[in-house]
Amino acid sequence: MTASQKPLTNSEPDGFTSRTLQRQVPLVLLAATVFSLGFMKPSFGFAGSGITPTDLLFPILLLSFVVGILTRSVRPVWSPSYLIFGVYAVAMIVSCFFSPEPRRSLAKFLGELYLIGLAVVTVNIVRDKMDLRVMILSWIGGSTVAIIIGLAAIALFYVDRQNSLLNLITYHYGAVPVGNYPRISSTFVSASMFCNYLNVSFFVLILADGKRWIRKWFFVTSIISLLVCAVFTISAGLGAYIVSVAFYLARLVVLKTKIVSRAILVAGVLAAVAFTMLAFVELSPTAAGGSTSFANFAPSPRVEIWKQAIDTISTSPFTGKGLGLPVVTVLYENSEGTTSLLTDAHNVFLNVGAQSGLFAAAAIFALCIFVLIPVFGPNGEVHLWLMAAFAASFIIQGLTGSFEDARHLWVLIGLIIAVGHFSREMPANAD
């Protein structure tokens, strides 16, 4: 236990009434921020960027956090992860210095500091199970709204396909064959990002159900609704859901038979690998009428994207092309006939490496190891589900998408580190 942390005792009241006003304000603001993670739309245009509700809340949260430290109502927590954050930040600063567009890279760097700040503030504010419960329920609240809107998009597509609202809550097909189904994005800017957020929410719901923080009927309804929405995102990240569901089922039966549990997990991993291999191919339109046939395959644009990203890294291995700059240039004709210019590497590690160099990529890799190391230790089911959420969304989905700048993932990182701190101070049966 660090000197800056207060041990959780049986005599300590568990609730908001036990906290001073200065302590409650950052906690409430963080809860509001966690709730807002489910809404990348509506956003507000500013300096060419979309400002989300989370972006508006964070400066207020940060101010309350600083005031809390100055008034000693919030005591800073030390974590070795700060060293990794520091290396990541330094690598990005170097990339900015050597960038051909330093002003643009510097603007991006400020955004990266904001993401790191989300994780650090979360680590320092979430100090016990009561705090965690507030954050988990806030996350569920935000995700529930996003899921309801996602279900509404599916229903609206089949009931009133010409409704203008569909333009706000659905996404273009991209490489997905055009068909009699919607590709939903709900309150997110893309279907893939919505898919990623839902993957974390899947494990958040499991955690809340295990702690009996939500009713069983709500858990079952939410899980089913979430999986329906996830399927209709029709994203490469759906392979992570196969592993996620298999892992959950394996945990359910592990006490009855470990052989069945392991078989479910192995089958899930193999199925997910097979599904992820689809990222290497795409369905091509036929010559007649431009319709799409399942008999016509072509190399996926991701193959060319990954090649270009690797070339970019080999050209500038230590500084990258420049933080915030496009690392690839791939023109792609979408299945609906439109054209997209793809500029990111569609892979977390390749994108970071191509933009900011190998030291930045190594820092991200080290962060993944740091977050997942407790999986080898007995830190309880709560910690396990949060780490599973990170593994599925950041690592597995990160193999086919660039999610290193997703706000919800940096808050998740902060929650995992925070839970790792206070779970080690609690009795083994207290989780």
Answer left, alpha or beta for residue 64, where phi above 0 means left and psi between -120 and 50 means alpha: alpha
Q: What pLDDT sits at residue 286? A: 42
- C-beta of residue 367 within 8 angstroms of C-beta of residue 412: no
Q: Could you state, in order of their start, the residue ranges of all structural domains in the chain?
A: 18-423
- Mark 196-235 as b/e (b = at least 16 C-beta within 10 Å): bbbbbbbbbbbbbbbbebbeeeebeebbebbbebbebbbb
Residue type, position 33, single letter: T
Residue type, position 133, single letter: R
DSSP H or E segment with residue 332: strand 330-333
Q: What pLDDT sits at residue 234? A: 93
**Which pTM was predicted?**
0.89
Torsion sign across C-alpha atoms 347, 352, 353, 359:
negative
- C-beta of residue 343 within 8 angstroms of C-beta of residue 324: no
Q: Which residues contact 100 (CB under 8 A, 6 or more apart)?
A: 321, 322, 325
DSSP secondary structure letters along 187-238: TSSSHHHHHHHHHHHHHHHHHHHHTT-S-HHHHHHHHHHHHHHHHTT--TTH
Q: What pLDDT sits at residue 200? A: 98
DSSP secondary structure letters along 367-419: HHHHHHGGGGS--HHHHHHHHHHHIIIIIIGGGTS--TT-HHHHHHHHHHHHH
Which ranges of the chain have pLDDT less than 70? 1-22, 45-49, 254-256, 282-298, 374-379, 423-431
Q: What pLDDT sits at residue 205? A: 98
Q: How far is CA 277 from CA 34, 89, 177, 283, 302, in A?
A: 33, 33, 17, 13, 11
Tokens 């203008």 map to which residue? 164
Q: What pLDDT sits at residue 425? A: 53
Q: What pLDDT sits at residue 420? A: 86
